[in-house]
Amino acid sequence: MVIRENFENNLKELKRKINEMGELSIDALEKAFNALKMRDVEIALKVIEEDNDIDNLEQEINQFAVWLMAKEQPVARDLRIVVVVLKISNNIERIADFAVNIAKSTIKIGQANSLLDLTDLEKMKDISILMLKKSLKSFLEEDIALAKEVGDLEDEVDDLNIETYKKLTGYLSEHPEETNQLVQLLFVNRYLERVADHITNIAESTAYIIKGQMFDFNP
């Protein structure tokens, strides 16, 4: 019983750290997008700098999870949770990397007049953050219904991604003088689509804990 209790306490701590990491990455995404919108290179640099904290937290979580596996030797569902924690921390780390990529695009765009209004990028960012909040909550509370909602929202991001691609390349072929910014916005469009993919992975991993099998919410 003591071992079981220890395991539960350690698991709570792991979940707390995953949530902390998730919140840092939500913050990074918001900041990076704001920097893009305001053409604020200072904020963009801050996002890049602060990514270290998220990377360190991932390392900490991984070491904790590996230590927990070695010490408590969990089986079945308990083992699944610890393995999934490794996957989720990796997905969050990659979401934060995309925030860094958006920050780098912001720096490359510099002070050019923003063409962001041509696109649905802000909407894609808003939906992604909603998805990330839902996927974290679904993991923390082991709520399968929330995990499924994440999959549905991803379809919206995919549609906006295709739409934005068309708008940006159409505009680009008529405004070659804006190549630099438009190419960067095309990259941001891609980054946000990938962010939504990784969030969906978190939801799928959560479903795996609950149901014991992998789901593909984005077939």
Q: What residues make contact with a copy of itself under the rule CB under 8 A?
A: 59, 62, 66, 69-70, 73-75, 79-80, 83, 86, 90, 169, 172-177, 179-180, 183, 186-187, 190, 214
* Structure-block tokens of residue 136: 């974290």
Nearest-Å Rg of the Cα atoms of the chain is 19
Q: Which amino acid is at 102?
A: I
* Structure-block tokens of residue 49: 């700098």
Query: Locate tokens 């230590």: which residue?
Result: 67
- Shortest approach of a copy of itself to residue 213 CB, angstroms? 11
Dist. CA 22–CA 96, nearest whole Å = 9
- Shortest approach of a copy of itself to residue 122 CB, angstroms? 21
- Shortest approach of a copy of itself to residue 145 CB, angstroms? 25
140 or 183: whose CB is closer to a copy of itself?
A: 183
Dist. CA 111–CA 181, nearest whole Å = 10
Dist. CA 206–CA 22, nearest whole Å = 14
Dist. CA 77–CA 82, nearest whole Å = 9
41 or 69: whose CB is closer to a copy of itself?
A: 69
- Shortest approach of a copy of itself to residue 102 CB, angstroms? 14
9 or 73: whose CB is closer to a copy of itself?
A: 73
26 or 61: whose CB is closer to a copy of itself?
A: 61
- DSSP run (H or E) holding 118: none
113 or 173: whose CB is closer to a copy of itself?
A: 173
- Shortest approach of a copy of itself to residue 130 CB, angstroms? 25
What lies within 8 Å, CB to CB, of 58 at 6+ separation is 21, 89, 90, 92, 93
